[in-house]
Chain A
Amino acid sequence: SQTIHQWPATLVQPVGSPLSLECTVEGTSNPNLYWYRQAAGRGLQLLFYSVGIGQISSEVPQNLSASRPQDRQFILSSKKLLLSDSGFYLCAWRAGRYEQYFGPGTRLTVT
């Protein structure tokens, strides 16, 4: 069966510090991968998605970036965090055009 991992689970970072969140998927190959952000009490905002290694599509212009160095690994990064970057970051995977599954998420607080 497929499993999706995210770490860390929680993170507190000062404004201006860098960020690296990692997501890995097990039990499948060539998944579509997604990064979402959910602000407190809000909906799911798609940040990036990838249909293959090195292929990244950005949905929202901001100070975040994403990379997919391996087939089942998706990384979200920032060089300098802003207060507005606080939120619940969710990685998701999908096999083709079928159902999409979310990882457990990383709760980021920028102070």
Chain B
Amino acid sequence: QQPVQSPQAVILREGEDAVINCSSSKALYSVHWYRQKHGEAPVFLMILLKGGEQKGHEKISASFNEKKQQSSLYLTASQLSYSGTYFCGTEGGSNYKLTFGKGTLLTVNP
């Protein structure tokens, strides 16, 4: 089942912070976060695994609440390069496949 992302869109000024949320109705093994710029492929940002392991870019932070099947991506001191569409992908069970949310469009203005 497709995870739900919120907000659908957010506009920031450079230096401001943002939080993007991802919620699933089923138990999760992992949550993955990606950023996609217009016309390009999605780029891996972060993976959060059940049990607390996580791996990702230094300037990106995220949380994973296993009990609530929710994850949040924290973008602090935003830069113009942060603009793009952010997708969360969730994995449940043992099927090795990700189901992606509809995306959150982030625009950072000067």
Contact = CB atoms under 8 A, between A and B. Distances in A.
Given A44-B42, A97-B29, A100-B89, A49 B47 contact: no
For the residues of B in contact with A, the DSSP-based class is: strand
Contact of A44 (B29, B49, B55, B100): B100
A44 B87 contact: yes
B94 to A, nearest CB: 8
Interface string B23-45: 00000011010100000111110
14 contacts: A43-B101, A44-B42, A44-B89, A44-B100, A90-B42, A94-B96, A96-B96, A97-B49, A99-B44, A99-B55, A100-B44, A101-B44, A102-B34, A105-B41
Given A94-B96, A100-B89, A102-B34, 8 more contacts: A42-B102, A44-B87, A46-B99, A49-B96, A59-B97, A97-B91, A99-B47, A102-B41
